[in-house]
Amino acid sequence: MASAQGPQLQKILERLTGQHTVPNVFIGGKHIGGCTGIHAFSLSHYI
């Protein structure tokens, strides 16, 4: 079920991260990025 606040949350995330696509991944409060970013992070941090 989609949230009525979804579009508002997406706009806030875009302002904070500069990214408008999903996924928008944060680890420990740090923005990692999207799919490409999490893939690179996993390769370098062995998650």
Q: Does some domain include residue 4? A: no
Q: Does some domain include residue 30? A: yes
* Mean pLDDT calculated for residue range 2-25: 86
Q: Does some domain include residue 32? A: yes
Range(s) of the domain holding residue 35: 21-47
Q: Does some domain include residue 36? A: yes
**If DSSP codes are grouped into helix, strand and coil, which group holds residue 17?**
helix
Q: Does some domain include residue 11? A: no
Number of structural domains in the chain: 1
Q: How confident is the model at residue 31, as a pLDDT?
A: 87
Here the tokens at position 37 are 């970013």
* 2, pLDDT greater than 80: no
pTM, two decimal places: 0.59
Containing H/E element for 12? Answer: helix 6-17
